[in-house]
Amino acid sequence: MTKAERTRETRERILSAACEVIAEVGFEKIRMRMVAEHAGVSTALLHYHFDTREKLFTEAMTHSFAQTGTELERDAGSVPAAVILARILRALLPTDPELRQDWRLWQELWVRALRDETAQRLAVDLYDQLHDWVGGALKRGVDSGEFAPCDIDATSTLLLALCDGFGIRLMLSDPKVDLDAAQAAIWGTVARTLGVAPEFPAV
């Protein structure tokens, strides 16, 4: 392994550990030492890569988002646009332990963004990326004729808002909302606009 590869591997390990620790205890309680211990590195090495908690938090959020996006692109060129869109929407909900961890990170970001300008800019930037992610799937479906022509920006915004709203209810374990109901409601809201069947696609 080259020095560059070791450096990249160490950063990845630190960022994964940071995501886990922040999700578990919250940003306000996190200490750099806790992340270093969880990652199996020295505090000095952690500070070499990330000299402040704020920088570590920003990188951890970006890392978490990128990991989810990479996984969903594995066969994007060989499946219908409806399946890609459904996968994205499912990934935007707390559907498994890893995504619930991502949601805890998002909730930490929302709270910080209300009081911190840097966190606010990060949140807006990540939402822009999510908007482009959803919009890309919609555009693919429209261009291929699988979806009816629609206002891609407005539809993307609506889908993100629905995922946020239902996601919060799922994170709260609200007995009135379960995953199947959430997915059905989200998909059903835009199915007529897209000209597709109202049932959530098998992903």
**pTM, whole model, 2 decimals?**
0.87
What is the spatial distance between Cα 68 and Cα 49, in angstroms, rounded to a whole number? Answer: 23
Q: DSSP letter at 89?
A: H
With 80 as the cut, is the pLDDT of residue 142 above it?
Answer: yes
Q: Return the sign of the alpha-carbon dihedral for residues 189, 190, 193, 198.
A: negative
Supply the mean pLDDT for the chain. 91
Give the per-residue pLDDT at 107: 93
Give the per-residue pLDDT at 66: 79
Q: Return the sign of the alpha-carbon dihedral for residues 155, 128, 26, 21.
A: positive
Give the per-residue pLDDT at 28: 86
Residues 105-113 have a mean pLDDT of 92
Which has the closest alpha carbon to 88: 172, 198, 200? 200
Residues 168-188 have a mean pLDDT of 96
Which has the closest alpha carbon to 108: 19, 4, 203, 10? 19
What is the spatial distance between Cα 39 and Cα 1, in angstroms, rounded to a whole number? Answer: 19
Give the per-residue pLDDT at 71: 58
State in Å, rounded, how far the first CA of the chain is from the last one. Answer: 37
